[in-house]
Structure 1
Amino acid sequence: MAKSLGLETPFAMIAASELFSLEMSKTEALTQAFRKAIGVRIKEETEVIEGEVVEVQIDRPAAAAAAPKTGKLTLKTTEMETVYDLGAKMIEALAKEKVTSGDVIAIDKASGKITKLGRSFSRSRDFDAMGPQVKFVQCPDGELQKRKEVVHCVTLHEIDVINSRTQGFLALFTGDTGEIRAEVREQIDTKVAEWREEGKAEIVPGVLFIDEVHMLDIECFSFLNRALENEMSPILVVATNRGITTIRGTNYKSPHGIPIDLLDRLLIISTQPYTEDEIRKILDIRCQEEDVEMSEGAKHLLTKIGVETSLRYAIHLITAAALACQKRKGKTVELDDINRVYNLFLDVKRSTQYLMEYQSQYMFSDTGEADEDDANAMVS
């Protein structure tokens, strides 16, 4: 889903149990998840000097500490040529980027950042051999100074974190964001609204995916109800594998463990179990991915196991069967290997059956057949 949305549309994914952490409240964790799924595309106009370096001349004074370095930089396009005087900072930046004559560079006027675009085609015969990383570009045409529009894509959550503390950038990388005050968020929302009116920014609502949604409690559901009414809310996708079950935090039962009023706002996508052919295809792909050679008979048996038990159990058996085959120094997984691991590792149905057979031998069994003497002995 995230792949098909493309790079610029934000996609945030959380598991419902993540919200119940000790560091922050549930509503704060949900708010952060929502704001991670809302992107802001900020347009910015910058002045750029772009041209081919004709000459870099740096004058270093004899005594190192006596005077700062000075220098001149000659840049040209197809139509004009200009000499720029350089300060100490720019000389450092040029040295860091290893700019030499013949390079095509772009200098951001606001920040002084130098970007090496490549080497000019006219200087391609300077050397007999060049590394594969050398990129040749045409000498820029027109004027040296140009206005360029740059587009930055960030999420509201990133803006929140950077503005909520002094070392906001570091907090973004470490993931230690902590709770963010409501005032900070209000100020940011106001600013983003201003940028939208001025045409500087564009809001890109993304997708928030919540897995195991039945793990949320009634407070989280009521928060979701309110958050979805916001004009900037992302598309919410929730996943669950529960039938009619209790809503956490209440004594009421409802389908999927989601309150009826929230369920009414959702579009429900029904899913069908895989057919035998589909299970076979999935197992074929899985064998290829895991580099497991398997005979036709073994694949057929594994497909039957997948139909009777579950696809996940059948996929787990691939690795186990490959190890069993390796142990007997075989190259291809045969029927015997599948049989061996099928007998060693139980699926849910067989495990349940086993428990019911030997229930009385386990602790806290529900049969009530445990001897009263044993119970009295444990109490005393």
Structure 2
Amino acid sequence: MERIGAHSHIRGLGLDDRLEPRETSQGMVGQAKARKAAGMILKMVQEGRIAGRAMLFAGPPSTGKTAIALGMAQTLGPDVPFTMIAASEVFSLSMSKTEALTQAFRRSIGVRIKEETELIEGEVVEIQIDRSLTGATKTGKLTIKTTDMETIYDLGNKMIDALSKEKVTAGDVIAIDKTSGKITKLGRSFARSRDYDAMGADTKFVQCPEGEIQKRKEVVHTVSLHEIDVINSRTQGFLALFAGDTGEIKPELRNQINAKVAEWREEGKAEIIPGVLFIDEVHMLDIECFSFLNRALENELAPLVIMASNRGKARIRGTNMISPHGLPADLLDRVLIVSTSQYSKEDIEQIIKIRCEEEDVSLTPEAMAILSNLATETTLRYVLNLISCAQMLARKRKAEAVGEQDVRRAYDFFFDEKRSVQYIQEAGMSLVTDLDENDRRRSGKTKPAGDDAMDES
């Protein structure tokens, strides 16, 4: 089942080869300057030149900050680690704030480990398996050939079981990993393509391998530093990765892993891939987290940290200081700030069209005009939420396309922020204020002047 999310239409940043933003591409619309800046940063990440730097996307709500971050993740591809967290995730009961941030940092750094394995690769000529009378012991011989040579191997119990499990028969081309004993079926040999009885609909035919039967092959694994930490920290080892019960990891263990990775790098066995850590709603972090971030960014093994904030001037949590975007001055000094601006009406229309394609909704021109006008008066998020509600109403009246009346009815059912505030003010705001005042008197607390409600506890 495929679910459609808020940003499932984003496929990349929509830039050309010269990093120039296209008008509409890969689900991205508008925000040309911010997209170009993100593209330049990505280029540096791919060249491994920007580890330990930080970036801040600052702009009003629903101007595409998270969309740009997701576009960056798609462009980087699966090999470069990309971790996305909301700042509130750091405040967890199971671990300290600094531990949660450290784990996020280490998830964003990949280690590409190279190792050489010996493979036996060839076409199976014959398999002979002899079972004893009791069936307890099995012995066997496996004849394998390439275009140049042919060899007979003696088989033990384990290999006989593995071959029968993979249903290997004469004529199959197989590869056996000598270190682990893993058998991989590559397909059937072209020479056996006339054996109709041994063919299924999905049979894949391959050429008989050339050269030596035993070959050395380089295998590359990419893991994150956090995965290495977890595997080494627990008695149950890598099962903790699936259980999610990682808990606090001791700093001594991390130092040992860092030393080992550095050793591998010197020997040429491993390569560090600095990835990207995206922290959304970064103004929700407190002063302790910010001081930790300052230090963590200077570390050798630091990823590129991208932050997003929709605050203008805000109080830094844990202090009474007011600062731009809710970030302390010493951290603002270190970051490159990219601003996002409100979308134009043409951009909004384009985004609505893309979302309708993603959700399989067809709009009439009148409904499209109403929705784009609404988006300029209210917010883009509210309008995108209205689309699926209006589609439900259109289905109810068995209409093929969402019309003007469906959008108007959905607008009547669901309030936007401005209308909601207006309704509260008209209906009973004074009642709520009186209740709050009574609660305060009862508990013997009075609200300090000019303080933020968030820290009242």
Q: Which TM-score band (shorter chain)?
A: over 0.9
Tell me how far 1:367 sits from its aligned partner. Answer: 12
Give the counterpart letter for 1:181 in structure 2. K
Give the counterpart letter for 2:252 in structure 1. E
Give percent identity, aligned residues only: 66
Structure 2 portions without partners, runs of 5+: 1-71, 445-457
Tell me how far 1:133 sits from its aligned partner. Answer: 2.6
Cα distance in structure 2, aligned partners of 1:24 and 1:329: 53
- Give the count of matched residue pairs: 372
1:63 corresponds in structure 2 to 134
SS at match of 1:364: helix
Over 4 Å off, 4+ runs: 365-368, 375-379
Cα distance in structure 2, aligned partners of 1:332 and 1:217: 48
TM-score by length of 2: 0.78
1:270 corresponds in structure 2 to 339
The structure 2 residue matched to 1:341, chosen from 407, 410, 418, is: 410
Cα distance in structure 2, aligned partners of 1:140 and 1:131: 22
1:80 corresponds in structure 2 to 149
1:9 corresponds in structure 2 to 80
SS at match of 1:64: coil
SS at match of 1:105: strand
1:90 corresponds in structure 2 to 159
Tell me how far 1:323 sits from its aligned partner. Answer: 2.0
Give the counterpart letter for 2:239 in structure 1. L
2:301 aligned with 1:248: no
Give the counterpart letter for 1:140 in structure 2. P
Tell me how far 1:366 sits from its aligned partner. Answer: 10
Give the counterpart letter for 1:362 in structure 2. L
2:102 corresponds in structure 1 to 31
**Which range moves more in the overlay, 342-351 or 296-305?**
342-351
Cα distance in structure 2, aligned partners of 1:212 and 1:8: 26
Give the counterpart letter for 2:117 in structure 1. T
Cα distance in structure 2, aligned partners of 1:296 and 1:205: 47
RMSD, aligned CA? 2.1
Give the counterpart letter for 2:207 in structure 1. Q
Structure 1 portions without partners, runs of 5+: none
Give the counterpart letter for 2:214 in structure 1. Q
2:170 aligned with 1:101: yes
Q: Give CA-to-partner distance per residue, 1:111-153, whole Å, 9 cap, x none.
A: 1111111111111111168334321111111111111111110
Tell me how far 1:92 sits from its aligned partner. Answer: 0.7
Cα distance in structure 1, aligned partners of 2:322 and 2:109: 33
SS at match of 2:210: coil
Give the counterpart letter for 2:254 in structure 1. R
Tell me how far 1:7 sits from its aligned partner. Answer: 1.4
Give the counterpart letter for 2:124 in structure 1. V
Give the counterpart letter for 1:94 in structure 2. L
Decide which structure has the larger Cα Rg and report it: 1
Cα distance in structure 1, aligned partners of 2:334 and 2:443: 53
Asked if the contact 1:359/1:365 (under 8 Å) is kept, the reply is no
- In the superposition, relative to structure 1, how do residues 255 and 366 fare at CA in structure 2: closer, same or farther (>3 Å)? farther
Q: 5 Å matches for 1:177-256? A: 177-256=246-325
1:49 corresponds in structure 2 to 120
Q: Give CA-to-partner distance per residue, 1:326-366, whole Å, 9 cap, x none.
A: 33333332212222222222211122222233344532259
Q: 5 Å matches for 1:125-140? A: 125-127=194-196, 130-140=199-209
Give the counterpart letter for 1:263 in structure 2. L
Give the counterpart letter for 2:241 in structure 1. L
Cα distance in structure 2, aligned partners of 1:306 and 1:42: 49
Q: Give CA-to-partner distance per residue, 1:233-278, whole Å, 9 cap, x none.
A: 0000011111101101111011111111101111111111111111
Asked if the contact 1:360/1:367 (under 8 Å) is kept, the reply is no
TM-score by length of 1: 0.93
Tell me how far 1:289 sits from its aligned partner. Answer: 2.2
**Which range moves more in the overlay, 50-59 or 281-290?**
281-290
SS at match of 2:336: coil
2:193 corresponds in structure 1 to 124
Tell me how far 1:293 sits from its aligned partner. Answer: 2.6
Cα distance in structure 1, aligned partners of 2:344 and 2:432: 40
**Which range moves more in the overlay, 285-294 or 128-137?**
128-137
Cα distance in structure 2, aligned partners of 1:365 and 1:351: 20
Give the counterpart letter for 1:309 in structure 2. T
Cα distance in structure 2, aligned partners of 1:376 and 1:229: 49
Asked if the contact 1:247/1:254 (under 8 Å) is kept, the reply is yes
SS at match of 1:153: strand
SS at match of 1:178: coil
2:337 aligned with 1:261: no
